[in-house]
Amino acid sequence: MPAAAMAVLAARLRSRGYEVHIFAYRGRSPYEANLEALARFARGNAFFVGHSLGGVLILDMLNRHPEIQAEAVVLVGAPVRGCLAGRRFGRARIGRWMMGACRPVWEEHAARWTRVAPLGVIAGTLPMGLGRAFGALPGPNDGVVCVEETTVDGMTGRTLVRQGHSMLILSGRVGALVDRFLTSGRFE
């Protein structure tokens, strides 16, 4: 994802005193290459915040690299269990092209967190997003990711916000929730 997509959330966190480093990656590049590049990018004992595929990358990277320390982690609209909208999108020629080598990530699979560091999940419930172009999504969703697809076994907590997928990282409320979780390890 272009680093600019995280600019608003990064600015909100900077204004709260965090030193922010944005990891940019190409969603069409091989997933494993993105994951290992993120592992090289990670510095010291850090807070990690990721949106959508960025959140999936963070979860997988931290699970595969126990030597990388995490103070706390927040995943925002991250389809860590796969993504029905992504699978549907991948059936179309343009979808296969846009997804590139990351397409297998959207298949259904388990997601687990076993670290001591708190892991929080923020999921959207306003069904406004490109994912609806390929059919209705079941249950609460943000228009791309179903709430159920954000479930991580072992997560510390999850909160739902009335935002569409792309608007999650622009929301002031989401910024405040991220800050609260990074500070206290909980959303409330």
Delineate the domains of the chain, giving CATH numbers in brackets. 3-184 (3.40.50.1820)
Predicted local distance difference test score (pLDDT) of residue 119? 98
Per residue in 91-144, pLDDT tens?
A: 888 777 877 778 889 999 999 999 999 999 999 999 998 888 888 999 999 999
pLDDT of residue 1: 53
Which of 14-18, 40-44, 93-97, 174-178 has the least mean pLDDT? 93-97
Position 30 pLDDT exceeds 80? yes
Scanning the structure block, which residue is given the tokens 């510095």? 43
Query: How large is the C-alpha radius of gyration of the chain?
Result: 15
The least confident of 25-29, 135-139, 161-165 is: 25-29
Across 155-183, average pLDDT: 97
Question: What is the C-alpha to C-alpha distance for residues 141 and 128, in angstroms, rounded to an integer?
Answer: 9
C-beta separation of 10 from 20 below 8 A: yes
Model pLDDT, residue 53: 94
**For residues 70-86, b (16+ Cβ closer than 10 Å) or e, as one string?**
bebbbbbbbbbbbbbbb
CA distances from 102 to 8, 17, 32, 62 (A): 25, 34, 9, 18
Instruction: Please list the residues that pair with 51 across neighbouring strands.
Output: 76
